[in-house]
């Protein structure tokens, strides 16, 4: 079974969208999305520097657009004979919006409009207090979590494969760097502009609720695995409610991967800008074949994986 996944904030790098815009129809599609959300996605994906695309209000819709664009390119590369039909979809943090579009809960434009609202609201919330996130590599969650709580930090992303991301104020993160939990090899600051998936994001939830109330979501056409608890969600309204609430709650990617295993996953493709989730999967999901879509050059490997999974 194939799982299609979408990465979260921090995966973006300057110019990463450039080769994708050279594909037939891609520039027109991105231009239409840009008009719909009032943000020049092509500029930010090709010419903007690292600081510009670190801005939450920019990074979030840019990542969703890249994921949708690369998934469309993969579908085009497969042709009519195979088709892109994953057994399950999921996204990490903002990647859940990409996954919601994959599942047919929202169309591409609606997903981008909602995530544009999310990015703006979370940027405003992040501006209230100087906050951030740091990844810890190694260690035991049973040791790490109490240590974080002692420092006033939140385990905002429990990613599995020996990785937990802490979130809180910059002072709290500095204290973590000086006082690592036992067994943690490194503490790595992430290129994000706030303490996402913590109480610091509570002001963004109300604004996202207002925007979500105007939507008419469809039920997922494929299995949609939620960050909240790793469970498969079958109702479109419930998917949207979870997207809203997840802004201020921890991401449980470890539980998502457990569900992939339970469902019988044998292959995993991570859409652009791929690499983060496939890296975790290689450690946490032994035997599951992976492909990360970083540039269009990766489409051939993804096409082969889809074909082999379909005929297995």
List the catalytic residues.
Answer: 93, 197
Distance CA 10, CA 13 (A): 8
> CA torsion, points 210, 216, 222, 227, in degrees to nearest 10?
10
Reduced to 3 states, what is the DSSP secondary structure of residue 58? helix
Give Rg (Cα) of the chain. Answer: 18
Instruction: Write out the DSSP string of 255-283.
Output: HHHHHHHHHT--EEEE-SS-SHHHHHHHH
| Cβ-proximal residues to 100 (8 Å cutoff; 6+ apart), any chain | 91, 106, 111, 217, 220, 224, 239, 240, 243
Cα dist from 206 to 106, 121, 135, 147, 247, whole Å: 20, 9, 28, 31, 10
């Amino acid at each position: 079974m194939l799982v299609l996944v979408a990465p979260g904030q921090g995966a973006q790098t300057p110019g990463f969208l450039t080769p994708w815009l050279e594909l037939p129809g891609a520039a027109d599609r991105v231009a239409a999305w840009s008009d719909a959300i009032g943000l020049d996605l092509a500029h930010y994906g090709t010419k903007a520097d690292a600081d510009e695309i670190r801005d939450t209000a920019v990074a979030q819709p840019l990542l969703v657009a890249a994921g949708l664009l690369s998934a469309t390119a993969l579908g085009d590369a497969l042709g009519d004979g195979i088709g892109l039909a994953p057994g399950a979809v999921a996204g990490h943090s903002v990647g859940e919006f990409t996954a919601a579009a994959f599942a047919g809960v929202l169309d591409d434009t609606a997903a981008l409009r909602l995530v544009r609202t999310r990015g703006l609201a979370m940027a405003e919330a992040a501006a209230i207090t100087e906050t951030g996130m740091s990844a810890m590599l190694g260690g035991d969650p049973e040791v790490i979590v109490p240590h974080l709580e002692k420092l006033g930090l939140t385990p905002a992303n429990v990613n599995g494969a020996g990785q937990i991301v802490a979130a809180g104020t910059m002072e709290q993160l500095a204290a973590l760097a000086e006082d690592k939990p036992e067994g943690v090899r490194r503490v790595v600051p992430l290129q994000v502009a706030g303490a996402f998936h913590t109480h610091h994001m509570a002001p963004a939830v109300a604004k996202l609720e207002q925007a979500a109330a105007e939507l008419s979501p469809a039920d997922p056409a494929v299995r949609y695995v939620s960050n909240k608890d790793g469970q498969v969600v079958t109702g479109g309204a419930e998917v949207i409610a979870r997207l809203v609430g997840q802004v201020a709650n921890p991401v449980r990617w470890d539980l998502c991967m457990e569900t992939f295993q339970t469902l019988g996953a044998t292959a995993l493709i991570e859409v652009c800008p791929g690499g983060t989730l496939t890296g975790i999967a290689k450690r946490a999901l032994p035997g599951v074949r992976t492909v990360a879509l970083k540039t269009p050059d990766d489409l051939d490997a993804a096409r082969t994986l889809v074909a082999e999974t379909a005929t297995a």
